[in-house]
Structure 1
Amino acid sequence: MRPLTFVLATLTGLTAASHASAQMTQDDLKWVNQCIADNKNEKGATPAIVRAYCICMNEKMDDNETRTITQWEKANPKARVACEKQAGWN
């Protein structure tokens, strides 16, 4: 990815993540923080990208979901790919 494209993708992800995080409940925050911990050592995982990815995944999940984001993403590969792209994790 070209540097300018990467910067723009990262800024877009951060803007979306900051807007979404303002609307998160305590329960959402718990799941997002667990997702961040689960993904912090993944290849290409900058803190901003992982945070944007986890927020995106949390938003795609139903409010009544009982699985963690990490468990849910394995059963929903299309959502995972979409959030990876949105977060700039490609």
Structure 2
Amino acid sequence: MKSAALALSFGLLSLGLLSAGAPAMADDNAKWVAQCMKDNADAKVPESVVNKYCVCMNDKMDNNETRTITQWEKANPEARKACEKVAGWE
């Protein structure tokens, strides 16, 4: 019984430690998406489409990526095409 309680305590502690980094990651993602929105401000599609596209591209990028979404999309045309489709960019 003690081992079950210990395992549960360890699991909850681990979950707490992992979720502590979530706000920082959310802030970082918001920064990347905001930059992508700026980079695409002159797009001839609704802002909601651009936002959906930027979020999709951000989701496809590795969390350790240092390039902006705009820089990354040039090196990853298949991801760009997939996100354009998801966002309804025409």
TM norm. shorter chain > 0.5: yes
**Equivalent residues of 1:40, 1:46 under 8 A apart:** no
SS of 2:86 mapped into structure 1? helix
RMSD, matched Cα: 1.0
State the SS of the aligned residue for 2:39.
helix
Structure ID, larger Rg: 2
Deviation digits for residues 31-77 of structure 1, max 9, x if unmatched? Answer: 0000001012123x211000000000000000000000000000000
Structure 2 segments unaligned to the other structure (5+ residues): 1-24
Q: How many residues align?
A: 66
Which structure 2 residues correspond to residues 1-90 of structure 1 after superposition, within 5 A?
25-43=26-44, 45-90=45-90
Higher relative contact order (CA 8 A, sep 6+): 1
Separation of aligned partners in 2, 1:35 and 1:59: 13
Per the normalisation by structure 1, the TM-score is 0.71
Q: Tell me, what secondary structure is at the counterpart of 1:25? A: helix
Tell me the TM-score normalized by structure 2: 0.71
Point out 4+ residue stretches in structure 1 off by more than 3 angstroms: none
Distance 1:71 1:29 in 2: 17
Aligned to 1:58, what secondary structure does the other structure show? helix
Deviation at 1:88, TM superposition (A): 0.2
